A and B are shown apart, each in its own frame.
Chain A
Amino acid sequence: MSKTILTVDDSASVRQMVGMTLKQAGYSVVEASDGREALEKAAANHVDAVITDLNMPGMDGLSFIREYRTKPSSNGVPIVFLTTESDDGLKAQAKAAGATGWMIKPFKPDQLLAIVRKVAGA
Chain B
Amino acid sequence: MTQAQETNAMHALTIRLQDEMFALEATNVREILDPVPITRVPNAGAFVGGLINVRGNVVPLADLRVSFGMDRPPADTDTRIVVMEIELDGEPMVAGILADKVYDVADIEAASIEEAPKVGMRWPAEYVRGIGRRDDDFVIIPDMQQIFGARANPAANSN
The short answer to whether A and B are in direct contact, CB under 8 Å, is no
A residues contacting B by CB (< 8 A) are none
